Amino acid sequence: SQTIHQWPATLVQPVGSPLSLECTVEGTSNPNLYWYRQAAGRGLQLLFYSVGIGQISSEVPQNLSASRPQDRQFILSSKKLLLSDSGFYLCAWTATGRGKLFFGSGTQLSVL
Amino acid sequence: GIQVEQSPPDLILQEGANSTLRCNFSDSVNNLQWFHQNPWGQLINLFYIPSGTKQNGRLSATTVATERYSLLYISSSQTTDSGVYFCAVWPNFGNEKLTFGTGTRLTIIP
């Protein structure tokens, strides 16, 4: 069966520090991968999605970037974090372009 | 882009009660999905339901695509049903992505 792993679960970082969040999917090939952010008590905002290795689409201009170095690995990065980058970050995947969406367990990021 | 509205925004019920959550969308969709976010933040896909009715235990969902709405029914509520319920739609046309509603926060009181 397919599983998605996301780490770390919580992260506290100072303003101006770098960020790297990693997500991996097991049990499937060539998934579509997504990064979402959720502010406290709010809905989900799509940040990036990828349909294949090295293919990244950005939905919102921001301080973050994403990379997909391997088929089932998706990384969210920042060179210098801002206070406004705080939030709950969720990785997700679908098997097909408009398929059933499955989420990882999320990373709670606090930038202080 | 497509608009997705959920109602009610908040719902507080006694354990054992039944509830109906609604999701309205403004354009034709390829599919609709319902999610439950528990108090610890985990999002679980409950239903993938482009049309018709599906049931899973105490939960069932109905999507009437021609009338642009979907309903999520929860029967005999339990405290573990608490959390936020999101619907999300994938528009039929264009390059739009999965669009989430703003959610219904359900609180089940013992």
Strand partners, B99: B89
Taking the C-alpha atoms of residue A102 and residue B54, their distance in angstroms, rounded to an integer, is: 18
pLDDT for position A40: 78
In Å, how far is A73's CA from the nearest CA of chain B?
A: 20
CB B85 within 8 A of CB B103: yes
pLDDT for position B94: 67
**DSSP label of B80:** G
Q: What is the pLDDT of residues B63-96, one digit of tens each?
A: 999 999 999 999 999 999 999 999 999 988 766 6
Q: Omega of the bond prior to B50 within 30 degrees of 0, cis?
A: no
Q: How many helices (H) and strands (E) does chain B have?
A: 0, 11
In Å, how far is B20's CA from the nearest CA of chain A?
A: 20
Q: What is the pLDDT of residues B46-67, one digit of tens each?
A: 999 999 999 999 999 999 999 9
Residue in B with minimal Cα distance to A40: B41
CB B36 within 8 A of CB B44: yes
Cβ distance A43 to B103 less than 8 Å, yes or no, reads: yes
In Å, how far is A28's CA from the nearest CA of chain B?
A: 18
Q: What are the DSSP calls for chain A, one per residue?
A: --EEEEE-SEEEE-TT--EEEEEEEES-SS-EEEEEEE-TT--EEEEEEEEETTEEEESS-SS-EEEEEETTEEEEEESS--GGG-EEEEEEEESSTT---EE---EEEEE-
Residue in A with minimal Cα distance to B29: A98
Q: pLDDT digit of tens for each residue in chain A (112 aa)?
A: 889 999 999 999 999 999 999 999 999 999 999 999 998 777 899 999 999 999 999 888 678 999 999 999 999 999 999 999 999 999 999 997 788 999 999 999 999 9
